[in-house]
Structure 1
């Protein structure tokens, strides 16, 4: 019995010793395994075209050195990253993509069974809105600018363009296309802004063909805005907020001036509703191009201001108006502590205004007298009991032609040798004449009563200087 047991044990050892495998021999390289996630909760669902994708690999006998990624299992891209934000192109309103990821181990062995996952993409339509406080005024000349913001949750680059139309949205052929790098458009009479009521409609479209909601201007769906075409080549810009007789003063004069040459005119009140923080209710949101292009519809402007001229508006628009051949009479007062007035130099032949007023008040019969051209009439302050405060002289540029200075007075006798300049023009045949007075307050007469000399002054400028016939 003992021999039998020993014999069996020897036979087992012999057979076991004939095996070709030893415990210290390395095993063949094993392929890595790849894992892929869609969203943190791992639930397959429709989503947007911008995707944050995550993947990782496990190698039982080494480490992962990178990944091959593909959307068709034929064309692969190598990366060492474990995630990426990928924009999935939208070819229709709903698109399904399939992502393949194969881990690669340190020996270059690729997972033979790549991880894959379907991504159903639901396209979201773009969103569009008008820029805040860019509303069109309720009345304009045939120039109007519309500006907007647009976005798309699928990526703003998926927006292919914008479409707009005036008034009639029912005919697709009427819609005009704008490329996706444009965010505003200015329309003119040639674009359909003729006399009458109008509505501007706008929408945008993405690469999948989805349209945003159509928005309109005016925003109030019960309203339209009115376009009025110029009545003539003459415009009065009313930059005057003080409640007095200024408007009627100018209207009455121009009704008869030069045999009624300016009787037909337009008036643009840019101070109605104006505050220190808000534009007037008839002012467009953009001075350039809207206001500038609007005044360029005219040849001649009388721009009259109170003590707070809208410097930024004049500074932004009048150089272009002059460059287009326009002619301006610009009359303005100043507050007690005016802001930096060097901006006047952008359109008028002055460098600045004097740093302080030469007198707190002007009285009846205080005058402006011509400097060289004596065909300019003397202008006298009126006898109105309302005070005229803080008059201020001009500091002309070297090439300016001086028209007026203050007449001599005991009130500023110290300035007899240094005249107080109150009126200038920019050339012998000027494009602008500027007075630093409230012109309607200089309709006085040294002997009382009428006539006053303002009509003579205006005729001198328009007829002789501007060549109006």
Structure 2
């Protein structure tokens, strides 16, 4: 009986150990992968202040049994919730990133919009957070702003061409500007649209820029249809004055404080062509370059006379294009005592370089002035041109060396006052540009400078 009871006890103990062992194996089995958790830097808040349409968002994730390898995010309200993501996969709704921040430009179709951003962490086993971290963004559209570019104010008077330049901005991103619109004279009438990349506008007579007073109105429109405040040019008053161009000749007055110059050119042009226009730039604000260029295109001939401070930078910008269109130019100027040739300021002209006129002394000195009655003689290249006589003392005179393709057409007469016969006027190879380093109106001591100009127009340029 004792042995039997012992065996029975051993059997029960063995069964207990067997079932205990089975229970230990179930407890030690691997647990299922736990999905990660996701957090946003800002927690959702229905009362979040209305913001602009550019947002910088931050997020992070934690994984209880592994590591976070990236995130998927979306602004699409139609995007279905996902619980898994395969690295390298693409999805029409969700975008993968391994970064924990990004900048978003929220494009909206109405004036104000509410966006909802959702983001999910993805762990190293492809599990995605089943509950997205989300943020609600009520976005208020900021209207664009447009202003005319500094230094581009329209002159008081123009010919039948005007140019305007502007700068447009938008707090929501400049790429949200959908177009610009302008109206001439009447902001309550029809507006004309311009592409959003446009930064300047040129109006001509065919665009409605007829003689009289005009005002240009401008505004920017963003992708939501919101308009900027309207700006106008000129900013006040009853507009700028538009006058018609007269004739084919434009006389550019770049000479300060010498009425004799204006008198000479008016009298000469009255005799030669009668119909011409005058544009004074010396004591005026620097003209907008594009406007000045378009103004020259209204004419076929330009006579530009300047003092010792010629506007060479402007000439170098506009005259090459004018010449390329078949224009002809007579340019006369003086040079300051310390005229700098750095940067080749005369590249636009037939002049290669400027040199001092010096005396015949053993130690040459600069000749600083040319006295009355000194003569300019035509060279053999243009023997039919008139000999010119200095009518009043000329200072700041320099000799000019022609470019290899250009030709000297006037020299100072040989004299004991200077060395050699300095070149004073040159002509380019295309017979389109004549350059004088003396003011032509001061070369009228023999009252034949006007006749000389006529010969240049006929013999060099091919006709009046």
Say whether the fold is shared (TM-score over 0.5).
yes
1:232/1:116 CA distance change after superposition, 3 Å? same
Equivalence for 1:144: 162
Deviations 1:395-419 (A, max 9, x none): 012333332111122212x41xxx2
Deviation at 1:271, TM superposition (A): 0.3
1:114 maps to 132
Question: Quick check: 1:379 aligned with 2:385?
Answer: no
> Deviations 1:27-50 (Å, cap 9, x if unpaired)?
443333222244799962221111
* Contact kept in structure 2, 1:36 and 1:56, CA below 8 Å: yes
1:15-414 mapped onto 2 (5 Å cutoff) = 20=23, 27-38=31-42, 44-70=48-74, 71-72=76-77, 73-74=79-80, 75-171=93-189, 174-219=190-235, 221-255=236-270, 257-258=271-272, 261-262=273-274, 264-272=275-283, 280-281=284-285, 283-286=286-289, 289-340=290-341, 343=344, 346-355=347-356, 359-372=367-380, 373-382=382-391, 384=392, 387-412=393-418, 414=419
Corresponding residue for 1:7? none
CA deviations on 1:281-322 (whole Å, 9 max, x unpaired) are 2x4222xx3212211211222211111211112222222222
Residue equivalent to 1:276: none
Q: Which runs of 5+ in 1 are unaligned?
A: 1-9, 273-279, 446-451
How far has the Cα of 1:375 moved from its partner?
Answer: 2.7
The answer to whether the 8 A contact 1:37-1:55 is kept is yes
Q: Is the 8 A contact 1:164 1:203 kept in 2?
A: yes
Counterpart contact for 2:120–2:128, Cα < 8 Å: yes
SS in 2 for 1:410: coil
Q: How many correspondences in the alignment?
A: 428
The superposition leaves residues 68-125 of structure 1 with CA deviations (integer Å, 9 ceiling, x where unpaired) of: 3233332222222222212221111111122222223333333222222322111111
Deviation at 1:355, TM superposition (A): 4.3
Other-structure match for 1:275 = none
Match of 2:89 in 1: none
Please point out which of 443, 449, 457 is paired with 1:454. 449
- The normalised TM-score by structure 1 is 0.83
1:463 aligned onto 2:462: no
Asked whether the 8 Å contact 2:181–2:191 carries over to 1, the reply is: yes
Unaligned runs of 5+ in 2: 1-11, 81-92, 359-365
Q: TM (normalized to structure 2)?
A: 0.84
Q: Return the alpha-carbon distance in structure 2 between the equivalents of residues 161 and 367 of structure 1.
A: 62
Aligned-residue Cα RMSD (Å) equals: 2.8
In 2, are the aligned partners of 1:342 and 1:351 still within 8 Å (CA)? no
CA displacement 1:4-29 (0-9 Å, x = unmatched): xxxxxx9xxx8996993677665443
Whole-Å separation in 1 of the counterparts to 2:43 and 2:244: 59
3-state secondary structure, aligned to 2:454 = helix
